[in-house]
Structure 1
Amino acid sequence: MLKADIYHYYALSDGKKRIYTNADEIEKDGSRGILSPQEVSYYSLYINGVLQPRTNYELFEGMLILKTEDVPIEGSTIVLSFVSIQGEKSLFEKTPILADKVFSQYMQTYYFNNIIKYIGEGKFKKIHFKPGYMIKNTLQVWDLEDADYKRVRFNLIIPYEIITSKKLIGGKLPPIGVDLVMYMPQIRDEFLYNIAVETRSTVCPPTIKIGYLLKFEVRVHVWIKSVGRIQVYIPTYNPSPKSNVLWGEGYQYNTVSDGIKRVYTNEDELLEYGNLGIPNPDEISFFNLYINDVLQPRNNYKVEEGRLTLLTEDVPLKGSPIILEYLKICNNGQLLKADVYHYNTVAKNKRVYTNEDELLEYGNRGILNPEEASYYNLFINGVLQPHSNYSIEAGRLELLTEELPIEGAPISLQYIYLKGG
């Protein structure tokens, strides 16, 4: 199970300004200020408990800029939620290197008969062949009608040494003329191919010495390769692995209730806040639905591509905002899927809530062990709570605020479970 670091920046609106900085933070979960959006998996902004579309604000490290026409009412809570999902740390990391990739390879075989070489009086022992090489200025490459193929022509020489009991005698096999069509796919401008040659030469018995002359035959295998330089990544040992924060992105579908219907489609989206519509659930990690600022239990709605269906007995009041937040979290380019569970209850005149207080129409698993989740959030009356406002353990939720929530206020404890990809 992947774990996440959760941090909440809290501030209060003064009813005038649009820019908030680290200096405006109310120290609840700490004093880390406004984090860099590039260094977390994803982030969300809530103003007075209402999840804000990304078009309503800009975020930089140390600075939040509100872009709405009206500023929040004085005393409104401004909450930035930062989620940093930690990928699995590894003692190995990927290191880029440049390597030669063989894009195509061809083999041809040549035979040389009746090669005669003067070796003198010494006793013949063996012939040692050296790697063949392309004769300088003989390589020619022509374009063909199919741009992914080239005609290649060059001459090849293979040196050798004859070893006798008295000396070494150098020589070269007759030049080999190579002419063939090679696969050399178009990659990009400025990508160059090299023609590489590899040879393996063997003597075909018998080898005959006639006086001072040696007569022999040779079989030559020639491999011709089209080679390009590419960048690849190899694992290298790292005794001190760094934190690996996974990439994530949040999106929102925004609409308003007409007080009548239960089904909303892409046609109902408020385009000033986005135009991506309702996504395919198989293509996102998980989603949250807020109606009139309250996080909804999963059995209150159904999401299909292009379609949101409300399953509650009553429809939302006309004008109630409906926000479907959906998140994509990836690890090495692979989408991670999440399991989400909500414990739901309503506020009573007390601080401690247990499994006995759960509203069973929304779930029956109780208050789960927080250590087994990637992360969790508590919403009271639609407002995201700082972790310093409560404590949680399996089967027990305790509120730590001085004042108790208004009786009947919805309390929703959300658990997110992300498994490594």
Structure 2
Amino acid sequence: MDADVVVIGAGIVGVSVGIHLAQRGRRVVVIDRRLPGEETSHGNAGLIERASVVPYAFPRELLAIARYATNRQTAMRYDARSMPSFAPWLFRYWRESAPARLARASTDMLPLIANSVVEHDKLIELAGLGTLVKPDGWIEGYRTEAALARRLNVCGLLARQHGLAMVALDRRGMEKTEPGLRPGIVGGIHWTDPRSVTDPGRLTQGYARLLESMGGRVLLGTVSALHQRAEGWQVGVDGGEMFAREVVVAQGPWSTQFIAPLGYRIPLLAKRGYHMHYHAETDIAQRFPIADAEVGYVVAPMQRGLRLTTGVELTNPSRPPTTIQLDRAERHAKTIFGLGRRLDDAAWMGHRPCTPDMRPVIGPAPRHAGLWFAFGHNHHGLTLGPVTGRLLAEMMTGEKPFTDPTPYRPARFG
């Protein structure tokens, strides 16, 4: 055998799985066509999101649905020509977002969310990456007093139920917390439990180096096929072959291309997102990532500059990138956040791998021994990478899992 375990995918999830398996004595090889942290793990808003105890759901209010249907919103846009390709998935997502189903999804996700910061902290300390991570969370900002008041009623209850730390900011509190902001945000909610990462790609790269220091290998290569053999798995890589007793598919939105030939039809939709970095034209540096909650974008201080990340774009994967969402968000954000010149030659585009029931796919393949899945983390891949690695490694090595993995089982999709 070339390895005990081959992990396909060198994003935050795949690398974290590799670390936890290496800690348990497994010989691990992580393979990806890109270097660690160059895909979705690189381009997000950099939040380790302990406060997101309720998954991002499909809107149920008719007025909200009508607004999105106009296709003029910043938070979400869709390509009408691609609608037939994702309409069935969207219907399932809408159904799973009903209040009772959403409450069950929140309960199921809570053990992963609640342990996300703790598991990251362990790896950050081992890898010596503390300079990339800042404590004290992020701010959910609002443009109107009415919207802020409605949100505070909801968040106060969530904070009490789940022991979350939050600070309500009125206009004066917002000015004191972020004195560099220009007029436009009248207040907000400061969630202080999460962490913010000033370079998510470098964090994933640092985790990859940690894996290599434990004896794991990280290889650059394109996996072309998986074949089950009596003694394990044959993995086709760049015209050659590797053999391993077990395989973990952790390739994010591209995971289904490896498992579809084996008969698995997991409903995974890749929601697109974009980002751009800007020079800050403010005298006082922004301290925290801030979400413009009523419009639908995030501005986060990163090592490269201020990173503007967009909401969701729904389209067929074959469609070319578009700057529509980024341009919309930039118009809203430019004056408030002091966005200066663009620092990137082109907008970055990434893909968020999402399931319609808002739960990741973590666990054993139902019909193939030695095949494991770890993908579909919706909007929280960075947040859930290390905790996913721990849970899957516990299952693979026969340990008692720290939480019941049943809600995330691949078999729920058949």
Which TM-score band (shorter chain)?
A: under 0.3
TM-score by length of 1: 0.18
Flag the structure with larger Rg: 1
Bigger helix fraction: 2
Bigger strand fraction: 1
TM-score by length of 2: 0.18
> Using CA pairs below 8 Å that are at least 6 residues apart, which structure has the higher relative contact order?
2
